[in-house]
Structure formats: structure tokens, C-alpha cells
Structure 1
Amino acid sequence: MPGKKKLLLSILALVLLVGLAFTFSGCGGGQEEGVVQSDTTENSTSENNTNTPAADGSETAKIIDATNAYLSSGKAPTISVEEVYEKAVKGGDQSYFLLSVRKPEHYAKGHIKGAINIPYQEIFKKENLAKIPKDKKVVVICYTGHTASQVTLLLNQLGYDAYAMKYGMMGWTSNKDVLAIEPFTKAADYEVDTAAVEAEANNELPAVNTGKSTTEDIILAQTEKYLTSGRAPTISVDEVYNTVIRGGDQGYVVLDIRKPEHYAKGHVKGAINVPFAEIAKEENLKKLPKDKKIVVICYTGHTASQATMFLNQLGYEAYAMKFGMMGWTSNKDIIGLEPFAKAPDYPTVAGSNP
């Protein structure tokens, strides 16, 4: 009897052990499966909507994701001077926040009433960003719209509701003392091409390694690196024509980010086409060599400047062609819009930063 009882106890113990093993195996498998399913869903969403390497958790992916979140929002990249004047200045709408990113000495000579001043090259500093509210429409103002557009991209990546004032102070006033630059007058009327240029997506993306962990810190570190590099934000149409087109310099790649239908009507010879809204897709970024200077071309220079900021954050060497195709040709069918004519000469106020 004692032997039988001992045998029964042994069998019972074995059954209990097997049961426990299955129980723990089931919990572990379920948790592991849950992680896998989560990653698969995230990959699927990213691949279907943005085609970015979001799930790899890399610093590059974090910049790409933040950019795609903005580009897929449907938000306009610019705001007209008329809206700023009628609503923010004349109408006194407190939901607008005016941010001038010009140099302090130019801001002091004349700026839009109510605008505060944070110079373009200092926008990445957290103490400056802390001055900008996230619950208002931020209107970014520069000289011609180019650096304001770069700042607009950065602010939207960080969760602000920002818009570049179209054509900057050039679109506001014709007073050259206030402008501090020569305004746009006419296009160079260089030749255009209609032959489509295809690029293979076989390039590696530049490596981003700031050592930061949050998306905001990574973006700010890369923006600081770019803005303190001494690199110009734009390249003139004359330089593009003389160096790249006429000179045949192979150290450049020309990227047209206009709509395909406008690209088809005429573009700078040799330019590839990647629409602005699709610039942050991985398969499109792989069309860009990381060892060449990238000339980004849009309609007026605004969206090209946003793309230029993004590409430099990723580690490319990119420049927006100043005034875009509007600066290259006067053919309205090719430009795809009405070119800049003149400023409405709205009022400005002088004085230092409040």
C-alpha cells in the first residue's frame, strides 16, 4: 500500500508540473505574440501610409516620422500677407502669434506690429522655443519666405501649428530699408526640359547619431548642427544654371518637388521629380545620393525650403533654389502659379524686440 500511495503521489506531482509548464508557456507565448502583433501593426500602418522605417526605432526614423505626421496633415505650408494683415493686425485676432526670424538689426528697422524676434539661426534653442505658444497659429516671417519656411517645418515637426508668411517681408512692404534685401523682380528665363528623369532607389540614407533619445531632442540636435554649419539655406538660379546645367558639375543632383503635372510641362534639365508631400518616404529618400549637393526646386522656394531643412536634418547637403521655378522661367504654365508682382505696402513698426 505505501508503495502504491507513493506511486500515486508521484503521478499527481508529474501531472501538476506538466500543467504548470503549459500555463507558463501560454502566458509567455501570449505576451511575446502581443509584442509581435503590435510591431506588425505599426509596420503595416507606417508602410501603407508613409513608407518609412518607423518601427526600427532609429534616430533617422524618428525624424522621418515627425515629418510625415506634418506632411500628411493636409496643412498649408504658407499663409498670405492679406490674411495676416486682415486677421492678425487689423482684426486683432489673438489666435495668431507673429514670429520674425530676421536679424535683430533688420527687425528693429521695421516689422509687423506685434511680432516678436527670434533670429533664424537661434530657433533651435529651447529657451527660444519656450517663447512660442503651441495653442496659437504661429506665423513665421523672414525676408523672402525661405528661412521662414525652414523654421515652419521645424515647428510643425515639434507639434506647433506654424505657417510661413508667403514671400516674407518682401510680400509685405516695398521699403528697401525695412526689407534689407533686393526683392524679386523677374525670372532669368533659362531653358527648361520636358524629358522625365528616373532615379533608382538604391542609395543608403545618411546615418543620424546624436545620442539623444526623444524625437524632439534628436530633431533639435540635427537642426543645431545644420544651422551652425555656416551652410547657406538657398542657392541662386544663376549658380544652378552656370554650375550644374552649363558647367555640367556632377557633384550636384537636382530635385524637383512640384506636382508631376507641372514637372511634366517643364523643369530644370536633369531634375528628378518627387512631390513635396512624398519627400519623407523611404523609397524616395533612397533616390538621393548622400555624397552630392542636392538642389531642391519648387514653385516659389517655400516648400523647397521646408524639404531642405528636412534633408539637412537627415544629414544630406541640400539647398533650396531661391524663388523656385518662378526665378527660373516666366512661363506661367511651367511655374504653375501667378508669380510675385509687388507688395501691398502694409504698415510696419520700428523698434527692438519687446
Structure 2
Amino acid sequence: MNNNITVEPFQIETTRTALAVVTHLTATTGVSHRDNITYGEQTLMANYVYNSRSYKTVYTLMDADGTVINSYEEEDGVLPTLFTSPSGEAFVSVVPYHPDKELEISIPVFNREQTEKPKGNRPFTGNFMNVVKDTAVFYDKDQWSSEKPDKMLTIVFKDGIIKKKNNIKIPPPAHNKIYVADNEIHLLREVNEQWIHRQINEKGEEVKRRELDMGRHYARDIITCSFEETSCLLADEENGLLALLLVDTAGTVTRKELFDLGDPIFNTWCAVCIGPGTFAIRFNTEFGNGWMVVRNHQLVELFYSKGVQGYKNLLTGEVISIPTEDKLILSGLNKTRENALAAIIYLKSDKSKEQKTLFIINRTITTDGNG
């Protein structure tokens, strides 16, 4: 296969403050964010860049200081899903252009000279979760049905090359919360007022199981999950009161209040580990969106877009400024270097190709939460 060609689709503007670096990527016609992952200590983004007739898939590599290293135009497909191999190389699953078939191929993002174009498979709609041993793990839940089984895709590598793909149906219950770290896969689901905690292997086989009684507490998302150590779950109440549920190895649950946001949370996304014991969690509400960082069961920062042009740290009052009257949408978040993150943001628009600018916030979190 040919390597992707280097392109310059964006006008780049960077604002640096003590709080963060904000990089503006502005396209001539339009841009929409598709995906992002950590690549080394950098951010690798997949975006659609529009022209007057169509669009191209473009990968942009940015360092932890907000500097764009390069952008590359994908020649072999659309609908990109980025992931990393067990050795940390960047890969992507794309759907090649074809008038009659919609099949997905998984290929390196860079250095394709020694890669033969693989046969396509039926596209997998889930998200890349992490790497377990020699396997990249993806997970999918049917948002329209609580009865259909969850699905897991595993892409197995050997000597840095994709060896095979496995599509696995997960035994019930469905609609699990998932945590993949330290070569382990953990699932959590409430059934009849009991929480079922399972550990499965990369073949989808159950390794361990326990039932947890959390009383009236509801776990919105997993921060960490383990049978051997204390698990940490994010919870909230209808009025926006955030809390942690700490579950010890015996199954005893301790609730620890974090912060009163004041607004009910609509959605949260999987926690992203950005350093030792440090996790960033995206959220949104009726009035805005943002992210919180939890370190060793302590809230060290909480940035929220409500009422400001940008994001305000509700713990300190400091604001990362993005001057605009339009609503900001937090579209992605990933780790860069240790204890640092990148957040990808765009302005709300009714049409994707009317979005002309992406804003990427790069921020380092210090031990006391002030970066």
C-alpha cells in the first residue's frame, strides 16, 4: 500500500497561557471531528475536511504543547476508527470507497510500504477500549435494545502485524459498563437491584464474577474496576451532586462526595487514564459540557463551559478562553504526556460541513490540580 500524502488543510492559530494551550485548526470550507487517540505522547486525530463537492479523511498529529506536526490525507477510505497496536503503533479501520460493498479494513496509519491491502470485513461499530496482551479490544452496545448481546471485536497481532479478527457475543446481561486496563477486561451491569461485576478474557470467556449490593447508589460510570483492589465508580444524583462509590475487595461500598455541579448530568464517557491514579471524565448537561479529573479518589479539577466563553475550572475560578458566542461541543479527550490531556472541541452547527474550526486544548495537571 502507498503511504498517505502530507497535506496542509488548516490555518493554524495557537494561544498559550499558564493554564493551557489552545490550538485553532480552521479549514477553508468545513471540518468535522471523527476520532482521536493517544499516539506516544501526542494526539492523533481523524477528521473529515470538506471541499466544495465532497470531503477527505485527514489525520492530524499534534504534540502535547499544541504544535501541529503534520496532517495526512487518507487515500483508502472513510469512517475511520483509530486504535493502537500492542507495540503502540497507530492503526485505523476504514471503509474503502466501493459502489456496491461496505467492508472495513484495518491498516497502519503510517509506514504502509510493507502492508498489503487486506480483505474487508463487516464494519464494527464499537469503540476502541485498550490493548490486552497481543490484542486490541473494541466494544459495542446496542443503544436501541437492552436485550441484544453486547459485542466485542478483538484484533490479534503477531510481530506487529494483524493476524486475525474475532467477533464475540458477550453472554448476558447486556449493556455493560466496561473497563479495560492492566491486561484485564471488566464488565459491570445492574440487574434486579444487584450489580454484576464480571471479568472476562479476550476470548469473551468469564474468568471471575461477583454480585454487589450498592443499596440506593447508582454507578454512572467506571473509573477503575478490580477484584484485587478497591474499585472506583462515578455516581451522581438528579440535582448534579457528584460522588465516588469505592467498592473494596469484600464488596463493601463507601460513598464519597466530590462536588455539587448544580445541574443534572446527561451523559458521561469512559474515564481516560492520564497518569498514575489520575483519570479524566467527559460529561455534558443541558447547559454545557466539560471534564473532571480525579486523582487518587480526589477531585483535582472540573472544567465546565456553562456561563463562560470557554471552560471554567469550578474549583479555582480560572477560565480557558475560547472567544465565541456559539455553543461549544466537547468531542474527544485523550492523554498526551504523563498527567496531561488534549480536549477536542467544535462549535455547534446544524450541518457538519458548516463547522470550520476545531479547538484543541492541551493542558497539564500538576499534583495540586493547578496546571
Say yes or no: TM over 0.5: no
**What TM-score bracket applies, with the shorter chain setting the length?**
under 0.3
Higher gyration radius (CA):
1
Structure ranking higher in helix proportion = 1
TM-score normalised per structure 2 = 0.23
Higher relative contact order (CA 8 A, sep 6+): 1
Structure ranking higher in strand proportion = 2
TM-score normalised per structure 1 = 0.24
